Structure 1
Amino acid sequence: MKTSVTHKIGELAKQAGVSVDTIRFYESKGLVSASMRSEAGYRLFSSDDLTRLLFISRAKQVGFTLDEISELLDLKLHPDDHTCQEVKQRTQFKIETVSAKIAELERIKRSLVRLHEACGGTSQSTRQCSILQLLETDDLL
């Protein structure tokens, strides 16, 4: 049930620490929607909407995508239809995804370090640049 405290979009943005454009974008993605409209036609948001917006922001901060956040919101909004195990599984999947990205970034870093160390950094023409030569080979990765 929505609470009676209402906020215009600018007030909501300020309280949530996001931009008005971010709220509009979230609205377009179906993550948040105005609870009601004022007589003048302004979108009005409740305290529950602020709570939802803060939930979205926190979930983004720990790396969830908007699609994943949408799934989490569904789990949160329909608690009798879902289990905590489902939430934990989504978190485990996210951990595995982040771990894979970290491994890929570490591989990229090793390759960049190898490129950097292969170069003497002289003032010679780039025709002799070992970095550019290594980038033409399959030996890099």
Structure 2
Amino acid sequence: MNISEIARTSGLTPRMIRHYEAQGLIPAPPRRASGYRSYSEADLARLNFIRRARALGFPLPEIASLLTLWQNPARASAEVKALALARAATLKQQAEELEAMRASLERLAAECQGNQSPACPILEQLAS
């Protein structure tokens, strides 16, 4: 498969595929005589793995760890579980922070007249 074919099949952009290659998440594919990259089914499986891990919020360094564990048949599932639970805890904290920001914005908006008056508690809060 060339890069456009694997991009279409994996649901990733060619740019992201090249980025993952540059980051070492996928090995550099062999090149055809024309100079085009030639991707294998194994590369597609890795890209699908990466796409799914990204969808769950894993950053690239953690994805690299997950890929290493995935490739290791002697892995301990406890390591994978620990990574997943750590990511879940981080996402929970981020969700709580986003909820607090949402509540603050709604409170400020409720205090704002929202009319032609120049007085605006939102701007006053941002300026203080």
Q: Is TM-score (shorter-chain normalized) higher than 0.5? A: yes
Larger radius of gyration: 1
* Residue range with higher mean Cα deviation, 110-119 or 30-39: 30-39
Match of 1:55 in 2: 49
Classify the secondary structure of the residue corresponding to 2:115. Answer: coil
Match of 1:114 in 2: 107
CA distance in structure 1 between the aligned counterparts of 2:45 and 2:121, rounded to whole angstroms: 55
More strand by share: 1
Q: How does 1:1-141 map to 2 (within 5 A)?
A: 7-80=1-74, 82-125=75-118, 128-137=119-128
Q: Deviations over 1:19-59 (max 9, x none)?
A: 11111111100011244222333221110111111110111
CA distance in structure 1 between the aligned counterparts of 2:8 and 2:56, rounded to whole angstroms: 21
Return the offset for 1:134: 3.1
CA distance in structure 2 between the aligned counterparts of 1:97 and 1:30, rounded to whole angstroms: 24
CA contact (8 A) 1:10 1:20 kept: yes
Amino acid at match of 1:33: P
- TM-score computed with the length of structure 2 as normaliser: 0.91
Amino acid at match of 1:47: E
CA distance in structure 1 between the aligned counterparts of 2:122 and 2:13, rounded to whole angstroms: 43
- TM-score computed with the length of structure 1 as normaliser: 0.83
* Unmatched 5+ stretches in structure 1: 1-6
